Structure formats: C-alpha cells, structure tokens
C-alpha cells in the first residue's frame, strides 16, 4: 500500500472499537479493488460525538463507519440521513454529509446465507437490544414477520424502538424466558458477551428446537450466547461476522460492489497470522488466571471447561442420548422395584397374620 497526500482516509469510530475487524476487511477490499484509500479504527470517547463527527471532514476523512454508542449522533451529524440511526457516513463531492444504516441490509444478507429458508420459518422475532443495530435490524425484518418484540435492559429504549416499527412490541427484560420460548428468530444486538464487556445467563434451554439464533457480536466469534445455544443443541446459532458494516458498508463508502466471499477470504488471510495458545494443566495450576489475563488484553478465548459443564448440566446436550438409552431401563427398574415392594409388603402381612 502506497499512502500519499491524495490517499482517501476512512475509519470506523466507536467505544469500544479495538476489537473491530473492519480495518482488516476494508483494507483487504481496498487492495483487491486497487483503490487509493486506507482504513483504520479510531476510539471516540466524547459527550458531543455529533460535533466531533462534523469536524472530521476538516481532517481529511472521506467516510466513516460508526459503531456503539455513536450511531444516533452520526445520524444527527449528517445533512441527510435515511434513518434516525446511522452506521455509515460519506462526505459527498459538494461537502455535505450523507448517513446510511446498513445494519438491516447486512443482517438479511447474512440470515439468507446461513438459513436460506428463514422466511418460511419465522413469524415471531425477538430482538435483544434497542440501540442503533437493533433498530436497524428490526426495521429490515419488520416486513417479513407477524410480530417483532424488543427487549432492552432500559425499558424506555425498548418502547422507543418498538414504536418505530409498525408491528413492534415491547418485551420486558424480566420476561426474557417467555420471549425465548415463543420466538422463531432471536437476535442478540447488545454488547453483552463482547470481549471486555459483561456477559449474561441466557435462558437458551427454553428456545424452540427450530429457532434461529444470531449474535451480531463477532469478537469472540463464539459468544456465551451462541455457546449456550450450541451446548443445548436446540437452536441454529451463528454470528454475523464478515457482514456490514463490512459488505454493505463498504459499498456505501467506496461505491463499489463487493461479495461476501471477498470478506471471508480477507478474514481468512488475517486468521493465518493469528497465534493460538492452548492452556492445559491440573486443578489450581492457573489456567483460569492466565486466560483472564489474555481476555483483558483483548484476545478471544474458548473455555472448554465451561462448555463441558453446560453440556452435562440439567437439560444439557450431553445428557439427552443417555436419557434416551436408559429411559426404557429406568421404567423397567421402577416396575421391578414396585413389584418387590408389593411382594415385601405382602410377606410382612402374612407374617403378621400367622403370629399367635
């Protein structure tokens, strides 16, 4: 890459943003298409993100992708916006700023690729989170479903998101179990489970066996949310990585068509440069402490102990084959035990009646 004073500068802004794969994907696409541009990630901590975004034109930026928590500020900063939230900003030739939201388009791209028959399977949708991504995805899915529920830890945000969608409904956070049990598609759009963020004990054991489960967090690629779905072997779970603000986002920024396969190849090239570390040892030797240290530095990790515990917990996937195998034996054992108790009771009665 030959960077000059004429090179266009693009970036993703947000807080947190160090986990983002966007620089890897976008710079790969830029190189593949021979564009004179460079893409980076910039952490933005500000109480007035709208003003900061407007000022970035003077610094030479051509376009931006926007992640949490600045998507609403991005829409306000623009001269024109197609939605009240935006994840893509582009400065036009006349100096004005256009805002787009590609979250919904990108999610439907990914959903169609991972579950091609989803339109025939989905009539009730649960979206966890009511931020920019959740609202964008909800609007895109609204026309394809009967009801769409938003659940958010802050009730007012769920109510605002639901009111912006024609068939939107509110599900209180304390009613998540009911929502998991009723939904055909569950979409996790919060930062819960992201590296460095809080996690949550999801009621995945209640979801339908035919449910589709998606998490838009992609670092780690397998979040606690998806791990819970797979451990239960009940849901079709996947993560929306290598998708917008990847594919649709880069279309808006550089005005070039891209393909999902290009993004996947770019990520694969980056993956070949990754270092994989495995931690083994007996109890008390420090595996968990070292794993926590890596996690605090932003390294994705997989806890096999937790996965095994989940598999063999009550209702876990590891128990079901054994239950099926021994169910008949258990019924037989209970029948034999019942007959033995009856015989023993009869013997005791005869013995008592024969005493003088």
Asked if residue 12 lies in contact with residue 249, where contact means CB atoms within 8 angstroms, the answer is: no
> Domain spans of the chain?
8-102+246-254, 104-239
> Looking only at Cα atoms, what is the longest distance across the chain?
115
Is omega for the bond preceding 69 within 30 degrees of 0, making it cis?
yes
Check pLDDT > 70 for residue 256.
no
User: What pairing do the DSSP bridges indicate for beta strands 88-91 and 61-66?
Assistant: antiparallel
289-306 residue pLDDT tens: 887 777 666 566 667 777
Looking at the predicted structure, is the pLDDT value of residue 126 above 90? yes
Domain 104-239 listed as CATH 3.40.30.10: no
At residue 166, the pLDDT reads 94
CATH architecture of 8-102+246-254: 3-Layer(aba) Sandwich (3.40)
pTM exceeds 0.85 = no
Q: What is the CA radius of gyration of the chain?
A: 26
Q: Which of 119, 124, 248 is nearest to 187 (CA)?
A: 124
CA 264, CA 23: separation in Å to the nearest integer? 14
The 10s digit of each residue's pLDDT in 200-234 is 889 988 988 888 999 988 777 778 888 888 776 54
CA atoms within 13 A on the CB side of 189: 29
CA–CA separation, 189 vs 155, rounded Å?
15
Enumerate the active-site residues.
Answer: 71
CA-CA distance, 94 to 8, in Å (whole number)?
16
Q: Give the model confidence (pLDDT) of 316-332 as tens digits.
A: 666 666 666 666 666 66
């Amino acid at each position: 890459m030959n960077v000059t004073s004429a090179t266009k500068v693009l970036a993703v802004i947000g807080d947190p943003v160090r986990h983002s794969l966007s620089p890897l994907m976008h710079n790969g696409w830029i190189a593949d298409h021979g564009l004179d541009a460079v893409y980076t990630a910039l952490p933005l901590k500000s109480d007035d993100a709208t003003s900061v975004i407007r000022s970035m034109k003077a610094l030479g930026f051509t376009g931006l992708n926007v992640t949490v928590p600045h998507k609403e500020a991005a829409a306000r900063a623009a001269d024109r916006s197609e939605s009240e939230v935006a994840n893509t900003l582009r400065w036009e030739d006349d100096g004005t700023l256009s805002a787009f939201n590609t979250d919904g388009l990108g999610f439907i791209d990914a959903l169609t690729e991972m579950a091609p028959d989803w339109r025939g399977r989905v009539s009730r949708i649960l979206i966890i989170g009511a931020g920019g991504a959740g609202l964008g995805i909800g609007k895109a899915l609204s026309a394809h479903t009967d009801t769409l529920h938003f659940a958010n830890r802050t009730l007012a945000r769920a109510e605002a998101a639901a009111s912006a969608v024609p068939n939107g409904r509110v599900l209180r956070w304390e009613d998540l179990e009911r929502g998991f049990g009723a939904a055909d598609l569950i979409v996790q759009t919060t930062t819960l489970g992201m590296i460095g963020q809080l996690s949550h004990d999801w009621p995945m054991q209640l979801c339908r066996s035919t449910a589709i489960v998606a998490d838009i967090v992609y670092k780690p690629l397998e979040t606690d949310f998806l791990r819970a779905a797979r451990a239960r072997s009940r849901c079709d779970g996947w993560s929306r990585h290598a998708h917008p603000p990847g594919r649709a986002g880069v279309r808006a920024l550089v005005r070039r068509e891209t393909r999902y396969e290009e993004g996947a190849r770019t990520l694969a090239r980056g993956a070949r440069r990754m270092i994989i570390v495995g931690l083994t040892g007996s109890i008390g030797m420090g595996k968990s402490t070292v794993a926590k240290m890596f996690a605090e530095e932003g390294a994705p990790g997989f806890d096999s102990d937790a996965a095994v515990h989940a598999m063999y917990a009550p209702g876990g996937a590891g128990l079901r084959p054994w239950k099926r195998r021994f169910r008949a034996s258990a019924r037989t054992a209970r029948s034999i035990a019942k007959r033995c108790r009856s015989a023993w009771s009869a013997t005791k009665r005869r013995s008592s009646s024969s005493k003088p």
